[in-house]
Amino acid sequence: MPHPQMFAPDDPLLARIRGIALALPEADEKVSHGRPAFFTQKVFCYFGGSERRADGWVAHDAAIMVRPDADDDPALRQDPRFWVPMYLGPSGWLGIDLDDDTDWQEIAELIDASYRMTAPRRLVKELGGA
């Protein structure tokens, strides 16, 4: 049984994430487990996610989930804005909610770092930098 769609295709936050993610070399979008997923050969960003807490399951519909850079990971895990996603958390993924106060430069940097962690080397070389 397929997952139900858990996003609005015309969500303005999703539009911003699409603009950032799809600007990366050979990035594409698919729906995975009912949510938009941005990928090359592997997924580097999901729009929306969920978290398991002691008091139950919590949906984060206006959020992204990414694989942070190894150097940044410890600090991000100490930042209360970040949460550990169900299922993907054990593989090093983190989530952060999006709202009116979102720092879009920070979001772009998180998506870029996740892309660099998952994309083939030849695509990462196209970006230059570290």
Give the pLDDT of residue 37: 97
pTM of this structure: 0.94
Identify the H or E element spanning 53: strand 43-53
| Residue 109: strand, helix, or coil | helix
User: Among 24, 9, 123, which residue's Cα sits nearest to residue 66?
Assistant: 24
Give the CA distances from residue 93 to residues 16, 19, 86, 87, 114, in Å, rounded to whole numbers and listed in that order: 20, 21, 9, 9, 9
Please name each of the domains of the chain with its CATH number: 12-121 (3.90.1150.30)
pLDDT at residue 130 greater than cutoff 60? no
Label residue 121 by pLDDT band (50, 70, 90): very high
What are the helix (H) ranges across the chain?
12-21, 73-78, 104-118, 121-127
- Mean pLDDT of the 109-126 span: 96
pLDDT tens, residue by residue, 24-46? 999 999 999 899 999 999 999 99
- For residue 25, report the phi and psi dihedrals to the nearest 5 degrees: -55, 125
Strand 28-32 relative to strand 43-53, pairing = unpaired
pLDDT tens, residue by residue, 49-96? 999 888 888 999 999 999 999 999 999 999 999 999 998 998 999 999
Give the pLDDT of residue 2: 75
Identify the H or E element spanning 35: strand 35-39
Place of tokens 């002691």: 54
